[in-house]
Structure 1
Amino acid sequence: MRSIPLLDVDDTKVFDEITAAKRGQRRVRLTAARPAVLEAYERYDDATPEVGNLAHAVLTAPQEEALNHAFNVETAPMTEMRRSILKRISVARCPFCGISESSTLDHYLPKEQYPEFSVFSPNLVPCCSPCNTRKRDKILDDETDVRLFVHPHFDQIPTTLFLAADVDLRADAIVLSFRVTRPAGMALATFQSLQSHFRLLDLADRYRRMALEHLGGQYRALKRAYGPGEDADRVESELALTAEDFEKRYGENYWLAVLYRTLSFNEAFCNGGFEVLNGR
C-alpha cells in the first residue's frame, strides 16, 4: 500500500477529445451528458479522499452506456491517457499491493456504478490484474460505512508501522505470516480501511508466498555474509541494511522492508537458520 502521484492532465479537455472521437449517437449522448459529468468531477475533487458516498450524476441509461463505452472501446485520446498513466516509473509497481506490475487501470469508484468517472484520471488507479480482479465493485463497508480500500491518489498512508510479519523457524522450513496491526494513536476508521484493504486483496497469503519465493533467491548472499566464521552479526547487519533500503524507497510498511526487518531481529535465522532456504 502506498501513495502515488496524480497524472497532470486536463480531464475536461480529455473528455471533450474522447467525445469528438466518437461517432453517431454516442457522440450526441456524451455531449448531452457533459454538464452532469463535469459537475461530478468537481464533487469528486472536493470530496477526496472520502469519495465513497458521492451522489450519482443524473444520467440516462444511453448516456451511461456511452460513458462506459468511452473507456471500454478506446479512442486515440483514451489510449494516450492510459499510456501516460501507466508509463510512469513511479507507478510501475502496483500501489494496492506493492507486489506486481501495474498493467491495468482500476476504477476506484466502479464505472458500472459511477459511469460519470469512467474516463476521469483521478478515479483511474494503475494496478496489477490480481488487485483489479479482487477489488471489483466494492466501495464501502456495509456496517461501518468506512471505505474498504485505500485510495492511492489521495490517502496519505500512515508512516507509523502497521504491517507486521511473524517468523516461525523450524528444522526444515520457515513459516511466514503477515498481518495488519493498529499502532497507538491510529484512528479506528484508518485501521479499519487498512485492514479491509489487506483482507480483501488477500495480501496476507500473497505476501507470504512472494516472501518465500524471494528469500529462496537470497540464500547464497546470506551464506556469503555468514561466511566460514559463522558471523551471525554480519547476517543481521546485511538484513537490516536491506530493510533500510526498502524503507527509504517504499516506506516502512512495504512488505519486503517489514520482512527483512523482522528477519534481522530473529537470532536463530541470522545464526545459520537461513539454511532452510537452501534448495527452495
Structure 2
Amino acid sequence: MINLPILRQNDREILKDIIQSKHKPAKTSLLNKYENILGDYLEYYKNRHSLERITADIDIDEEVSKYLNDAYKSGKVIDSVKAKITEIMPPAIKEKCPYCMLSEPGTFDHYLGKGQFPEYSVLSKNLVPCCSKCNSKKGEKFLSANGNRIFISFYFDELPKSSFLIVELDIDGDVPYIKDIYINSDLGNNIDEIIKTHFDELELFERYKNPMSNKLSLLVTRIKGSKQCRDDIIEVIRNEIIALEKIYGPSYWECSLYRGVVNNDDVLAYLENISIS
C-alpha cells in the first residue's frame, strides 16, 4: 500500500466551472451555496490529517445535495477531473486499487461519502480511485462507534515506512500453507487502529488468502528442481521483495507473503529440499 499524489488543481475553480455549466434551477441553488461549499473545502483542508473532526454542513439542504451529487455523476468538468486524477496516479495504482491492492481501480470512492457529506461530492481531494468491490464494501462508512476513522486516507495519512502486514506460514503434510495473516499491533503511531479497521471492514485478510496461496504455489513450482541452496533461495526471494516494495510499498500483500517465507525455517528447508531433489 502506498500514499497517493494529490491533484494540484484549484478546487474553487473546479466548483465554479461546474456551477457555470449548469442550467436553472440547479445553477441558482448552487450559486447560493457557493461560499458555504468553499468554507467546507477550507475545513477539509485544515483537517486533512484528522478528517474525523469533519462534520456535515447542515446548511446544505436536500435540493443542493441532489445537484451536487448529479454534478459528480456526469459532466465535462468532473469527467476531466477524474481523468486528471487517474493520469497522475503511479503505475501501481493504475493497476491496483489502493484500498486492497488486488483489483484494478475502475471507479472512484468518496472518502467522505457523498450521501452524508454532499458538499464534498466534487472535491478532487475527496475522490479516490478504487475497485468496485472496495467501493461497495466501504460505502458511506466513515467513523467507528468510538469516533475514530475506519479507513486509511491514502492522500493524507502517513503510512508506516516498514511493513505492517504479517504473514505466518506452516507445513502440513510436506506442503507449505498460509497459517495466519494479521496486522502488526505495535506500529507506534496513531494510524494503528485505522489500519486494523480498514482491513477488517474491507475483509482483506479473507480476500488475500487465495492470491497468497496461488503465489506460494507458483514459488514452489519455480524453485522445484532448480538446484539452489538455502542461501540462494533466500537471496532470490529477498530480491523479489525489494523489487515489489519499490512499486507497491512495504506492506503490499505479496511482499508480506515472501517475508513470511524467508522468516520460516521449516518452509525454507522444504524449498531447499524440493530444489535439490
1:134 positional shift: 1.0
Range that drifts further, 213-222 or 96-105: 213-222
1:181 equivalent among 178, 181, 184:
184
**Partner letter of residue 46 of structure 1?**
K
Partner in structure 2 of residue 42 of structure 1: 42
CA distance in 2, matches of 1:213, 1:22: 50
RMSD over aligned Cα, in angstroms?
Answer: 2.0
CA distance in 2, matches of 1:257, 1:5: 22
CA distance in 1, matches of 2:24, 2:218: 56
Partner in structure 1 of residue 197 of structure 2: 196
1:121/1:163 Cα in 2 relative to 1: closer, same or farther (>3 Å)?
A: same
Partner in structure 1 of residue 223 of structure 2: 222
Residue deviations 1:33-81 (CA, integer Å, cap 9, x gap): 2111111000000011211231322122111111111112x11111111
Range that drifts further, 50-59 or 127-136: 50-59
Equivalent positions of 1:78-89 (< 5 A) are 78-89=78-89
State the secondary structure of the residue aligned to 2:6.
coil
1:274 positional shift: 8.6
Range that drifts further, 241-250 or 99-108: 241-250
Partner in structure 1 of residue 119 of structure 2: 116
CA distance in 2, matches of 1:173, 1:207: 19
CA distance in 2, matches of 1:270, 1:160: 23
Partner in structure 2 of residue 261 of structure 1: 259
1:102 equivalent among 102, 105, 117:
105
**Partner letter of residue 6 of structure 1?**
I
Partner in structure 2 of residue 206 of structure 1: 207
Does the CA-based 8 Å contact 1:86-1:103 persist in structure 2? no
**Partner letter of residue 68 of structure 2?**
L
CA distance in 2, matches of 1:247, 1:66: 42
Does the CA-based 8 Å contact 2:5-2:88 persist in structure 1? no
> Unaligned 5+ residue runs, structure 2?
none
Please tell me whether residue 164 in structure 1 is matched to residue 162 in structure 2. no
Does the CA-based 8 Å contact 2:223-2:271 persist in structure 1? no
Aligned length: 269
CA distance in 1, matches of 2:272, 2:125: 44
Partner in structure 2 of residue 70 of structure 1: 71
Partner in structure 1 of residue 232 of structure 2: 234
Instruction: Using structure 2 for the length normalisation, give the TM-score.
Output: 0.90
Equivalent positions of 1:25-36 (< 5 A) are 25-36=25-36
**Partner letter of residue 110 of structure 1?**
G
**Partner letter of residue 99 of structure 1?**
L
Ranges of 4+ aligned residues in structure 1 off by more than 6 Å: none
**Partner letter of residue 233 of structure 1?**
D
Percent identity for Structure 1 against Structure 2: 26
State the secondary structure of the residue aligned to 2:51.
coil
CA distance in 2, matches of 1:150, 1:46: 18
CA distance in 2, matches of 1:30, 1:21: 11
